[in-house]
A and B are shown apart, each in its own frame.
Chain A
Amino acid sequence: MALDSCGMTLDGIDCVVMGTAPDAFDMIHMKGENLIDGAGAWRKPYMRGFVGGGTGVFVVDQGWYHVASGLFDTCLVVAEEKMSSCLPHPQGAFITIWDQFTESPLGPSLLWMFAMEMTRYMHVHGITEREIAMVSVKNKKNAMDHPAAQLPAEITVEDVLNSEVMAWPVKRLDVSPSSDGAVALVLAAEPAAKRITDKPVWIEGVGWCLDTFYIGHRDLYYPRYVEYAARQAYEMAGINEPSKEIDIAEPYDPFDYKELHNAEGLLLCGKGEAPKLLADGVTQRTGRQPWCPSGGALGVGNAIAATGTMKVAELFWQLRGEAGKRQVPGKPRRGVAQAWGDELQVGTVIVVGI
């Protein structure tokens, strides 16, 4: 579909970058190799990039430096996840992501860890579950207009608060689903891009950052690694005031509190201020700075690596004015997308503009 959309075939693709998260979802050792034909990389330079849940945006950054290195004119970036292969539940694929000696024997789950981060975020800033639930309401509603959405819905804050508690304070409707999905983007160097389309969307800044693995040495209330990654991308893009210079943001929202947490890391507002922007309607699709107009992971679905790339694709459509019913008004010119993952420790960021 990506190739069709720009009137290209695989013959015009010089290299392929693949994003897919843990091999354990598929139980295919060297899974990247198994995906070569699906990614259209047969007999091409093919590179798989990986930073856990941050992979989806990282691979676009990686595609950028494939082209910017001067080695290639065009690059196909593909991201996929097929979580449904993993039984009884894809959460099981995560049992070995914790420290093997000091954490895994306690039987932790992703939900526990995220719940603890959410608790800390709420505690430090005095934020309530009710304020956070608004994110889920907004994103699932935005997803109603996304043709590929898995869980679009019109729900209320009460629905979220009354949904079953999974790991307090995380409730069923605070969480994105596990999903299968794939996304592809075509990148091109400037002269090639101008030949391919008259409406290119430019990559203006890239950044990624990994914090220490030792989670007990960090304060979970704030994702400083997202800030570091964002600063790299903003500096490259010449952005000084992200809260004003960014028209649309797609922060990673596997849980509702994460959209707020990540947006603060992206410096779109001060620490602890995200819930206020949400309550004031600023981050609605019609607001001053929409967050997750796509519907995000909460609404569209969370096919880990593919989700981050989906967010970049959303910016592509929005900036070209081709987002259909999801179109953000006011001719947005610049957007930021971000993904997050590993043991609550990686931020990957991209700034695109027209």
Chain B
Amino acid sequence: MSAGRVAIVGVGYTPFRPITPDVSFREMVYEAAAKAYEDAGIEPQKDLDACVTCQDDFEHGRSIWNEQTPDSLGAVLKPVGTIPGDGIYGLIDAYMQIRSGLRNVVVVETHSKASNMITRNYLLAHAPDPIYNKPLSQHPYYIAGMEMNRFLYETGNTKEQCAMVAVKNRRNALSNPVAAYGQKSAVEDVLGSEMISYPLTELDTSSHADGGIVMVLASEDRARSLAGKPVWIKGVGWCSETPWLESRNWGEAVYAKLAADMAYRIAKINEPREDIDFAEVDDTFSYKELQHLEALGLCQRGMAGRMTSDGVTQRQGELPVNVSGGSLGVGHLVEATGLQKVLEVVLQLRGEAGKRQLDNARVGLAQSWRGIPYASGAVAILSRE
């Protein structure tokens, strides 16, 4: 089988907004897809070999929601498959289809219509194990509170440093015209905001946004023949830690560590801190950014807080993290969250990030986490060359 290189050759997205009552999800996806196809210079019915879409049924309130996917992508009567999971999983699925030699051009789609989910908290209560955990009837954010507490305890990072992540990312979002929650704030604002589940406060937590993202992937031959600037997928990795709250490692993001190990191995990266120029990592909660940076090997264990307070992860720092604004600043896009991170890496590598463009962006890392209450996640490493 061929195991050639795979590139992202086109991206399209809609602005990320807290509500989008003006469009249906189909119309939102259509807009993102039309932009992505224009960006890649392809016509869907002629050029598309397959599509991968990412969404879980309940987020949508539609059972077997994947039936509605082909139309919005111009992919009627094409091979369309769905990954009920985060967008980076979809990216990886498309990457494997191309690497296997089965396809040349594959589209990845994911979107959020989080605003249509009226009883969101109640839905999340249906995610923990139905026999052991659900009957405790707690708002599942208690799981984040417990994890944050254990992480800080084990590593010596502090609540203040977590708050700095929230301040940084929302500030970064002010330079991202499609981000929903950009704002100037201070560490005291975060620490003083309403307590959700000690030590996690309201401003440590990302809010949801709607939006659609579509990407076009192509084999090396095909990528070379298209007009756009290809961004190469150098490595991917994904991993699931145990689903049991009772047996998980609460202090460390093992899934992120193992996923990163796999991605670094494929990308032939031995010194991630040297080779990765910038990263978009999961920041569903502020402490998650710190926990993930350590798991990804971008700093030593216990040093992510220090790195943050020293300004290393600022846009002007040595290792900019979540320049897009992250989930805290852009808005949490449910299953589209990981692909928003890939999107930022692509825009930075193409030099199209506008006001927030980094000077020396050659290799970038995007990482996702599936979210409370589970411990699964994926990593993608992208490069200009």
Contacts and interface: CB of A to CB of B under 8 A. Distances in A.
Chains A and B bind each other: yes
Contacts of B239: 43-46
A86 to B, nearest CB: 11
A21 B239 CA distance: 21
B75 interface: yes
Nearest to B266: A71
B63 A65 contact: no
Contacts of A151: none
A69 B182 CA distance: 40
B67 A66 contact: no
A65 B96 contact: yes
A49 B242 contact: no
Contacts of B75: 210
B64 A52 contact: yes
A114 interface: no
Contacts of B79: 207-210, 229, 232
B83 A48 contact: yes
B129 interface: yes
Interface in A306-354: 341-343, 345-346
B186 interface: no
A29 B259 CA distance: 23
A24 B67 contact: no
Contact of A345 (B67, B99, B102, B371): B67
Interface in A73-120: 93-97, 100
Contacts of A207: 79
In this complex, the interface size class of chain B, counting residues with CB under 8 Å from chain A, is 35 or more
A131 B71 CA distance: 36
Given A24-B63, A209-B79, A29 B127 contact: yes
Contact of A47 (B57, B89, B124): B89
A50 B84 contact: yes
Contacts of A210: 66-67, 69-70, 75-80
B238 interface: yes
B117 to A, nearest CB: 11
A32 interface: yes
Nearest to B80: A210
B127 A71 contact: no
A69 B92 CA distance: 11
Nearest to B376: A33
B335 to A, nearest CB: 10
Nearest to B125: A29
Contacts of A68: 1, 96, 99-102
B99 A70 contact: yes
B243 A34 contact: yes
A142 interface: no
Contacts, number: 192
B71 to A, nearest CB: 5
Given A49-B83, A212-B76, A342 B67 contact: yes
A164 interface: no
A125 B57 CA distance: 37
Contact of B240 (A42, A69, A100): A42
B64 A21 contact: yes
A37 B244 contact: yes
A42 B254 CA distance: 11
Nearest to A46: B240
B237 to A, nearest CB: 7
Given A33-B376, A69-B1, A51 B81 contact: yes
A97 B62 contact: yes
A230 interface: no
A142 to B, nearest CB: 29
A28 interface: yes
Interface string A217-234: 000000011001100100
Contacts of B61: 96, 100
A120 B258 CA distance: 52
B127 A28 contact: yes
Nearest to B26: A213
B69 A24 contact: no
A94 B64 CA distance: 8
B374 interface: yes
Interface string B80-93: 11111100010011
A125 to B, nearest CB: 23
B57 A22 contact: yes
Contacts of B374: 30, 33-34
A46 B255 CA distance: 11
A204 to B, nearest CB: 13
Given A50-B84, A213-B69, 15 more contacts: A24-B57, A34-B130, A34-B374, A35-B243, A44-B240, A47-B85, A48-B85, A49-B81, A49-B93, A51-B82, A211-B76, A213-B67, A213-B68, A213-B70, A232-B79
The 10 closest A-B CB pairs, nearest first, are A68-B100, A69-B96, A342-B67, A70-B3, A33-B374, A69-B99, A210-B80, A29-B127, A65-B100, A52-B64
